[in-house]
Every structure is written in C-alpha cells, then in structure tokens.
Amino acid sequence: MSDFYRENILEHYKHPRNYGSLKKPDVFAEDKNPLCGDRMKFELRHKAGIITDIAFTAEGCALSIASASLLSEYVKGKNIAEVLKLDHNSMRELLEIEISSGRIKCALLPLSALCKAVTHKQKNYG
C-alpha cells in the first residue's frame, strides 16, 4: 500500500467528513460488529430518491471510521438504487487499499449500516 493511500485513510479517520448528527433526519439505522465492538449509525435526508444529506456517528477503529467518512462523501447526491448496488468490491475501490480478511468487517460495517438506512427508507417512505 502506498503512503498516499495510507495517509488518505488516516486523514479520514482523524478528520471524518459528515461526522455528527442531522437535525430531523428522514431515516436512520445503525449496525455493529459484535466481534470487535465497532458501532456505526447513519442518518439520512432524501428527496425524490436522492440522498441530499448524510451524517454518521461511530465508535470504532480507524478503518471503520475512515470507511464511513469516504462512503458518506461518495453517496451524497446519489440515487438510492445506486447505493443499493454497492458491495464489498465497491468499498475496496473506494478505500483504494488491500483489506485483509481479518479487517474486511471493519471496512464493510459502514456499508451495512447505510444499506439498512436506505432499505428502511424505501420500505417506509418510498
């Protein structure tokens, strides 16, 4: 892994984008990794199937927080259908690093929480 990508992950961990809470989110969901104790919560606002605002809070390792930060930046302005197509390969591409099998759950926790929020949105507001 190059120093640039390592530095990018550390930057997103130390200064996560979209970290915090939204006033009056349309929907929220949380998820956790019981093996390591990481917790992630996403809050969303949407309009006509487009994510217009997003925030997250987390307790976790550098990789899970950096993943949430990068993911939140990526999905803002995206259609819900696009978000539902994201998978573990999408997260690997977004992070631009190789993720060991022991750390993949850390990188995927934000995606899991986000998909729960999006699915909840579709069932209740779609």
Number of domains composing the chain: 1
The parent domain of residue 64 ranges over 3-125
CATH number at residue 32: 3.90.1010.10
**Mean pLDDT score, 107-125:** 82
- Residue-wise pLDDT for 46-88, tens only, equals 999 999 999 999 999 999 999 999 999 999 999 999 999 999 9
**Mean pLDDT score, 8-24:** 95
Judged against a pLDDT cut of 70, whether residue 124 lies above it is answered with no
Instruction: Give the distance, in angstroms, between the CA of residue 83 and the centroid of all CA atoms in the same chain.
Output: 10
Statement: the pTM of the whole predicted model exceeds 0.85: yes
